[in-house]
Amino acid sequence: MKKYLKNIMAGTMVFAMAAALAGCGSNEPAPAEDGGEKVEDAGTLIMATNAEFPPYEFHEGGEIVGIDAEVAAAIAEKLGMGFQIEDMAFDSIIPAVTSGKASFGMAGMTVTEERLQNVDFSDSYATGVQVVIVKEGSAIATVDDLFAEGANNLVGVQTGTTGDIYATGDIEDEGLGTIERFNKGADAVLALTQDKIDCVIIDNEPAKEFVAANEGLVILDTAYAEEDYAICFAKDSELTEQVNGALKELIADGTVQSIIDKYINAE
Ligand code: ARG
């Protein structure tokens, strides 16, 4: 069995644990700070993200928009706090959160066992699927072709993503190909259109957008892995319960779904 199955199970367990934990303790958000405390503690939520991941976060008209940006803004509003987005490389998000430079990380980020060693996660607010993009007529016809004996593909991923982690473990470490790491998913897709690599492993929603924007690309029917997206926090941060409480309310009252529908079901 492929390694990613472990990750799916870990994600599910975390989800159950987070749900159980959220049941105890008060969900009452603290009032917005008006006195002498540090701004990042009480007044303004700083979200670390990598805005190269449509429809979750991307640049539009000089602004960062998308599902995560809107859900996070709604959380801040509910908590009576200010809101600010810091755009950075995907693999800088967890360090920004653990060092306290950001209040939380939200970036279509998958809950994994490895990440849980460094951060805590909120409840999951969306699911993702790792898919494989190829050129039309590619010799790679199913995900299993990537793991076939004698396979030797150049596989593009965004650095530090679960696509990178799975492909490194399942393909590179098994001697079945080489991983090419890119700063942006779009750069990996560009390399694919230029025949510099054989496929790209990336989350399904950005994959759909990249394929729509480039001729001659297809997404394989078979999925590589299924995942839960959640917000990450510094371990034992006081914010986790507050933000998660607001997130739960926004899930329960349909706000999160309507934001998702606005970006995903619009076509
Ligand atoms: N879901 C994948 C992960 O957690 C990819 C997320 C990439 N997000 C981004 N904003 N670039 O690793």
Average pLDDT over residues 228-237: 98
**Distance linking the first and last C-alpha atoms of the chain:** 36
β-bridge partners, 65? 58
Two tokens, residue 173: 């470490």
Give the global pTM.
0.84
Query: Domains in the chain, please, with CATH?
Result: 3-125+230-263 (3.40.190.10), 129-225 (3.40.190.10)
Query: Bigger pLDDT: 12 or 149?
Result: 149
- Dist. CA 151 → ligand 1 center (Å): 26
Residues 6+ apart with CB under 8 A from 134: 140, 192, 198, 199, 217, 218, 220
Instruction: Count the Cβ atoms, other than its own, within 10 Å of residue 132.
Output: 27
Report which ligand 1 atom has the smallest distance to the Cα of 110. Answer: 4
Coil, helix or strand for 237? coil
Pocket-forming residues, ligand 1, beta carbon under 6 Å: 49-50, 52-53, 57, 90, 107-110, 128, 158, 161-162, 203
- Dist. CA 37 → ligand 1 center (Å): 33
Coil, helix or strand for 185? helix
Q: Over the stretch 74-87, which tens digit does the pLDDT of each residue have?
A: 999 999 999 999 99
Judge residue 101's burial from the number of C-beta atoms within 10 Å of its C-beta, 0-12 exposed, 13-18 middle, 19 or more buried: middle
Conformation bin of residue 68: beta by default, left when phi > 0, alpha when psi is -120 to 50: alpha
Q: How would residue 32 be classed by pLDDT, with cut points 50, 70 and 90?
A: very low
Widest CA span in the chain: 65
For residues 260 and 35, what is the distance between their CA atoms, to the nearest angstrom? Answer: 36
State percent of the chain over pLDDT 90: 81
Residues 6+ apart with CB under 8 A from 1: none
Say whether pLDDT at 178 is over 60. yes
Q: What's the confidence (pLDDT) of residue 154?
A: 98
